[in-house]
């Protein structure tokens, strides 16, 4: 009897799901960094808002999907194989983010914390408070440690407690925090508690996810996607997002819809390739977006059309994603490879 889920099929849709999530992340950041050049169309703003329930839950779930190799190993292997990579890449990119964001503060309007001292402080405290868009790597390192510490806890207790903590944090902290306090804490600290459940779900329910995808097929995936869109739009219009646990429900539903999109687009090779290189795109896309925004500003490019306000961020996201992949390939085996991989001495393998 053939296995229910073939390995190559499973990994194909996982890569496409990862590709979807990273492109949505790049797109929302492209929309943000180009906002001073012209108004964002209502359609694109609505799209980014709706898919906010899908982007990071799907991203975290797919990260957890591949985490068992490290969580089930020894602490030494976890650190040398995974944590050292996340920590190194996170730290090595902080000076690049510092330069890019300081330049943005000088040459672009509407930027926050533009002084040299403010940006230097953010870089200095980045090990404790993640700096801007690099928070995913910071959170992921914490998730691996937490999952390892909780590896002996029964699966459903682990998930139930993680889900309850996520709901409580979202309702009692995130929804009630002042804008000033939110700015102090930053998106990383505000998100790390809420999103751990999705990493744990991908880690602990890998087989359940894979077999469910195989059973529902593309038609089932399409039904889930349409149902999620309908519920999300209705919840937004009806104001249900402020209800206890409802944001968590939408995030979980969005994660399922994202997996469905991955299945529907599983045969699209460019998306699969993107999904296999998410780290390279994630770390580089914001500095590249800032460079692009600075160039467009310097050449006086702007728009007042809703059509351009829709297309410009999409085109920018595509360009930056492609450049990030080319930059990684160009780095090759030279010194620039350490932007994406830690040196051997940082692995602390020991004997």
- Across residues 181-196, what is the average pLDDT? 91
Distance, in Å, from the CA atom of 40 to the CA atom of 62, rounded to the nearest integer, reads: 30
Concatenating the DSSP letter of every residue in 23-88 gives: HHHHHHHHHHHTGGGSPPPHHHHHHHHHGGGTHHHHHHHHHHHT-HHHHTS-HHHHIIIIIHHHHH
Q: What is the dihedral of CA 43, 44, 49, 53, to 10 degrees?
A: 110
In a domain, 1, yes or no: no
In a domain, 16, yes or no: yes
User: What is the reported pLDDT for 271?
Assistant: 95
CA atoms within 13 A on the CB side of 226: 6
Match 């529907």 to its residue by tokens: 264
Q: Are 92 and 331 in contact (CB under 8 A)?
A: no
- Across residues 330-342, what is the average pLDDT? 89
In a domain, 2, yes or no: no
- Across residues 268-287, what is the average pLDDT? 95
The widest CA-to-CA distance across the chain, in whole angstroms, is 65
Q: Are 255 and 200 in contact (CB under 8 A)?
A: no
Per residue in 225-241, pLDDT (tens digit) is 999 999 999 998 888 88
Distance, in Å, from the CA atom of 21 to the CA atom of 7, rounded to the nearest integer, reads: 21
pLDDT band at 97 (very low <50, low <70, confident <90, very high): very high
In a domain, 33, yes or no: yes
pTM over 0.85: yes
Domain that holds residue 24: 7-347
In a domain, 297, yes or no: yes
- Across residues 102-119, what is the average pLDDT? 83
**Could you give the number of structural domains in the chain?**
1
Least confident of 23-27, 109-113, 129-133, 325-329: 109-113
Of 80, 78, 117, which is closest to residue 347 (Cα–Cα)?
A: 80
Distance, in Å, from the CA atom of 281 to the CA atom of 264, rounded to the nearest integer, reads: 22
The pair of structure tokens assigned to 229 is 């869109």
Angle formed by the axes of helices 179-204 and 55-65, nearest 10°: 40
User: What is the reported pLDDT for 173?
Assistant: 87
């Amino acid at each position: 009897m053939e296995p229910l889920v073939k390995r190559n099929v499973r990994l194909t849709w996982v890569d496409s799901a990862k590709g979807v999530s990273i492109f949505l992340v790049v797109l929302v950041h492209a929309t943000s960094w180009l906002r001073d050049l012209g108004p964002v169309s209502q359609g694109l703003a609505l799209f980014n808002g709706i898919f906010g329930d899908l982007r990071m839950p799907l991203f975290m779930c797919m990260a957890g999907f591949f985490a068992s190799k490290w969580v089930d190993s020894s602490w030494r292997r976890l650190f040398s194989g995974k944590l050292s990579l996340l920590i190194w890449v996170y730290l090595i990119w902080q000076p690049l983010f510092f330069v890019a964001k300081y330049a943005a503060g000088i040459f672009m309007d509407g930027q926050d914390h533009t002084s040299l001292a403010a940006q230097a402080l953010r870089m200095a405290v980045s090990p404790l408070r993640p700096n801007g868009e690099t928070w995913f790597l910071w959170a992921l390192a914490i998730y691996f440690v937490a999952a390892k510490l909780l590896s002996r806890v029964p699966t459903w207790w682990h998930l139930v407690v993680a889900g309850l903590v996520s709901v409580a944090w979202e309702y009692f902290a995130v929804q009630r925090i002042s804008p000033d306090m939110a700015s102090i804490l930053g998106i990383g600290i505000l998100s790390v508690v809420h999103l751990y459940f999705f990493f744990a779900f991908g880690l602990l329910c890998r087989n359940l996810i894979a077999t469910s995808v195989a059973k529902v097929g593309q038609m089932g995936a399409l039904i889930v996607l349409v149902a999620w869109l309908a519920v999300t739009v209705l919840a937004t219009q009806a104001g249900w997002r402020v209800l206890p646990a409802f944001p968590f429900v939408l995030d979980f539903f969005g994660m399922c819809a994202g997996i469905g999109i991955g299945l529907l687009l599983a045969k699209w090779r460019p998306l699969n390739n993107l999904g296999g290189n998410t780290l390279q795109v994630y770390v580089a896309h914001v500095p590249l977006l800032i460079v692009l925004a600075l160039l467009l500003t310097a050449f006086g490019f702007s728009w007042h059309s809703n059509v351009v306000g829709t297309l410009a961020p999409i085109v920018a996201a595509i360009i930056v994603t492609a450049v990030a992949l080319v930059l990684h390939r160009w780095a090759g085996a030279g010194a620039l490879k350490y932007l994406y991989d830690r040196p051997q001495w940082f692995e602390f393998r020991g004997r």
